[in-house]
Amino acid sequence: YQQNPKTYTIVKQLLAEGNAGELQKYFGSRMEFGTAGLRAAMGAGISHMNDLTIIQTTQGFCRYLEKNFSDLKKRGVVIGFDARAHLSSGGSSKRFARLAANTFISQGVPVYLFSDIIPTPFVPYTVTHLKLCAGIMVTASHNPKQDNGYKVYWENGAQIISPHDKGISQAIEENQEPWPQAWDDKLIDSSPLLHDPYAMVNKEYFKDIQKQCFYRNINKETNLKFVHTSVHGVGHKFVQLAFKAFDLSPPFAVPEQKDPDPDFPTVKYPNPEEGKGVLTLSFALAEKDGARIILANDPDADRLAVAEKQESGEWKVFSGNELGALLGWWIFTCWKNNSRDTRAIKDVYMLSSTVSSKILRAIALKEGFHFEETLTGFKWMGNRAKQLMDQGKAVLFAFEEAIGYMCCPAVLDKDGVSAAVITAEMASFLATRNLSLSQQLKAVYDEYGFHITKASYFICHDPKVIQQLFDNLRNFDGKNTYPKSCGRFKVSGIRDLTTGYDSSQPDQKAILPTSKSSQMITFTFANGGVATMRTSGTEPKIKYYSELCAPPGNSDVEQLKKELDELVNALEKHFFQPEKNKLQRKTE
């Protein structure tokens, strides 16, 4: 029974060789459907992304939506895809998107299927704009080239949160037998239920982001030059259009990386978070064309990295926290000076995740608006933003340290396209004041207090060791006692979002939702330092995030950096114990 000759051949070959180990890997366990949807390598078997697992997942999702929406057949869903493809198994984002569309259409559900590749934020945008029941984006973002993913949005335009993941997961289990004609995706082309939102969204999205354009005259005149790279992904065309929408001259595109290529030939990992390695070609083009600023999107264009050439001739790559500080300052300043928004400052909000810098909190305290922190990930920020907006509040900005920014209320998720063009306008405005981005960042810290951050991770493939490491922290000086110090640094507070304990609350119960399935402990130190240790949902890593927040006026940055370095060294030595636990360090 072969619907996909390529995966069929792979499995037949393994059977012929009697390769039980590999077969176990392919068929031993089904991919887990979580709040991030699916993320796995493309290939044969139920542990991989392929035609069959996409059909099964979509059948489950469709049944779950039918249960939750009586008007599903009236409203419908949107489906988008990136440019990923996998020759040996025949899988590609486009093929998976068409199979998913076919599944919904077979049940009488209207599908808005993009006819071409798009940035991930276009899916949540379309859900909101057309008031649809749900959205699916087929992408693996910045993962290695063999991977793909299936990301799900709810009717509120934000990524799903629990309990939807459990409900969908169970519905997938109950709908594994492919429905008749499940494989015949040609059926959709003649169906009256198939719509293509591509032209409409390309018009409306760029109209909507212009509400964040405040200095058109400066944009027209600026002689600042920008380089843009889409790192072999989908971003090129859309960032060019965004610049046009803001009346900025188009950025120079890195020629070797501007067209989509599922092999990502010029980079080891297509992840701009990795910093300078991914930007090598951008630096070269910027030097050649005399550009001072580089804007880099990840392959599905929902993240943004920014680099700026310094007076010294060196390039500075901004961290996610530094760009978050700049964008937060800029978006608030634009709101204050230009906004026709009549809402009082007490109805203005900004959000960031609990492992991101607390710089927005410092700005909010001084300026009088609200700051809230959420759990890690944009699913939490998107859902919280929607709740606040439904209460009549203005959510101006949200960000996470993993270079994700939500600058525009029309998209309740991170969006690297609007973030790129808003950063370009900010830089153009600052240039008229003879300020660079780096100089303005220092000015933000001077005004609101320095926030120095440092994050890294250890790799650990043994879940038992990870469990033991966190158990040890919870029973540090005897049973049920957390550490009172870390080397010379005194611990002043502890929040454990695995168990729900928070020493700073009157009833010692954490306010943020807790999750027993993942590890996360935050330590506050007497010197103003904060450090969070957590496990990753998608990789075999134990991550840590640390920050030293100084009050305004303390401008000895070198001293603060030294203090944070010592705190991080103590954290690694006493809490991670890499030698004892055989942890592998992040290699730069």
In this structure, are 459 and 435 located in the same domain?
Answer: no
- Give 3-state DSSP helix, strand, coil % of the chain, rounded to 5: 40, 20, 40
201 lies in some domain: no
Once rounded to an integer, what is the mean pLDDT over residues 476-495? 95
In this structure, are 218 and 335 located in the same domain?
Answer: no
Helix (H, G, I), strand (E, B) or coil at 80: strand
Residue 429 is given by DSSP the state: H
The pLDDT tens digits of the residues spanning 2-23 come to 789 999 999 999 999 999 999 9
Single residue among 448, 474, 499 that ends a domain in this structure: 448
Catalytic residue of the set 93, 106, 141, 230: 141
Name the residue type at position 307: A
In this structure, are 72 and 161 located in the same domain?
Answer: yes
In this structure, are 332 and 419 located in the same domain?
Answer: yes
pLDDT tops 80 at residue 332? yes
In this structure, are 145 and 221 located in the same domain?
Answer: no
Asked if residue 438 lies in contact with residue 431, where contact means CB atoms within 8 angstroms, the answer is no
The pLDDT tens digits of the residues spanning 501-519 come to 999 999 999 999 888 889 9
Once rounded to an integer, what is the mean pLDDT over residues 521-550? 92
∠ CA 161-166-172, nearest 5°, is: 120
In this structure, are 511 and 472 located in the same domain?
Answer: yes
| Token pair in block for residue 337 | 């000076």
Domain interval for residue 251: 206-317
200 lies in some domain: no
Q: Could you tell me how far CA 527 lies from the centroid of its own chain?
A: 31
pLDDT for the residue numbered 339: 67
pLDDT for the residue numbered 575: 97
In this structure, are 454 and 444 located in the same domain?
Answer: no
In this structure, are 259 and 339 located in the same domain?
Answer: no
In this structure, are 28 and 168 located in the same domain?
Answer: yes
pLDDT tops 70 at residue 588? no
The pLDDT tens digits of the residues spanning 144-171 come to 999 999 999 999 999 999 999 999 999 9
In this structure, are 334 and 404 located in the same domain?
Answer: yes
Residue 340: CATH number of its domain:
3.40.120.10
Once rounded to an integer, what is the mean pLDDT over residues 277-304? 97
pLDDT for the residue numbered 275: 77
DSSP bridge partners of 130: none
27 lies in some domain: yes
pLDDT for the residue numbered 561: 93
CA dist., res. 12 & res. 19, Å (int)? 10
pLDDT for the residue numbered 370: 97
225 lies in some domain: yes
pLDDT tops 90 at residue 536? no
pLDDT tops 60 at residue 189? yes
In this structure, are 154 and 40 located in the same domain?
Answer: yes
The helix-helix angle for 320-338 and 437-448 (nearest 10°) equals: 80
* Segment (H or E) for 212: none
Single residue among 416, 448, 480 that ends a domain in this structure: 448
575 Cβ contact list (under 8 Å, min separation 6): 473, 483, 486, 533
In this structure, are 185 and 54 located in the same domain?
Answer: yes
370 lies in some domain: yes
Residue 575: CATH number of its domain:
3.30.310.50
Single residue among 268, 293, 317 that ends a domain in this structure: 317
What string of DSSP letters covers 541-568?
A: EEEEEEEEE--TT---HHHHHHHHHHHH
163 lies in some domain: yes
Asked if residue 499 lies in contact with residue 509, where contact means CB atoms within 8 angstroms, the answer is no
CA dist., res. 157 & res. 410, Å (int)? 9
pLDDT for the residue numbered 553: 81
CA dist., res. 262 & res. 145, Å (int)? 6
pLDDT tops 70 at residue 440? yes
Instruction: Tell me the pLDDT band of 35, cut-offs 50, 70 and 90.
Output: confident
374 lies in some domain: yes
175 lies in some domain: yes
Instruction: Tell me the pLDDT band of 552, cut-offs 50, 70 and 90.
Output: confident
Q: Is 141 a catalytic residue?
A: yes
The dihedrals phi and psi of 438, each to the nearest 5 degrees, come to -65, -40
Total domains, the chain: 4
The pLDDT tens digits of the residues spanning 42-100 come to 999 999 999 999 999 999 999 999 999 999 999 999 999 999 999 999 999 999 999 99
Helix (H, G, I), strand (E, B) or coil at 3: coil
Q: What is the mean pLDDT of the chain?
A: 95
pTM of the predicted model, to two decimals?
Answer: 0.94
Peptide bond into 119 cis (omega under 30): no
